[in-house]
Amino acid sequence: MNWCLDLEPLIIFMLAAAIISFIRVFSELIFVNPHQVRIYNRLMSEWRRKAKEAMRSGNLRQIERVKREKTKIDSLAMTISKMRFKSMMITFSLSIIIFIIIAKYFAIPILVPILGKLTGLWYFILCSLAWNSIGSIILKLKGYE
């Protein structure tokens, strides 16, 4: 068994998963403003609380006020969605390109010490989960949700 040849897919999958995770974190840092998202989420949750209270009380004046504020709240939600969508589309587009490049290694059996033999695809999924967990921790420490 030639270990040099057996390590090649391992390194390729690990690097591919790391690159995709880096792209995700980097695009979130560029396109998503965590301070703005926190403020908008707070405003939307306050509005939802007011809407529930208005519906429960049956007060027509409160219900009308809540309905007038709905367009503003919808606008805030759309702004957050746009920020996240840009980040998601960049990550998705580049992930597809990387996925196509490494697809030829997916059928190769890989020995993982605890789990035994896995196909390359499952090893790539495990690497992606690990790297994305690290990326999520980094984003959380930076103040992102």
Report how far residue 126's alpha carbon sits from residue 140's, in angstroms, rounded to the nearest whole number. Answer: 21
Q: Which of 93, 78, 7 is nearest to 36 (CA)?
A: 78
1 has a pLDDT exceeding 70: no
8 has a pLDDT exceeding 70: yes
CB of 106 closer than 8 Å to CB of 121: yes
> Cβ neighbours of residue 34 under 8 Å, at least 6 residues apart?
142, 143, 144, 145
At residue 127, the pLDDT reads 92
pLDDT digits 0-9 by tens, 111-123: 777 877 888 888 8
pLDDT digits 0-9 by tens, 10-50: 889 999 999 999 999 999 999 999 899 999 999 999 999 99
CB of 17 closer than 8 Å to CB of 127: yes
In the 8-state DSSP scheme, what is residue 80?
Answer: H
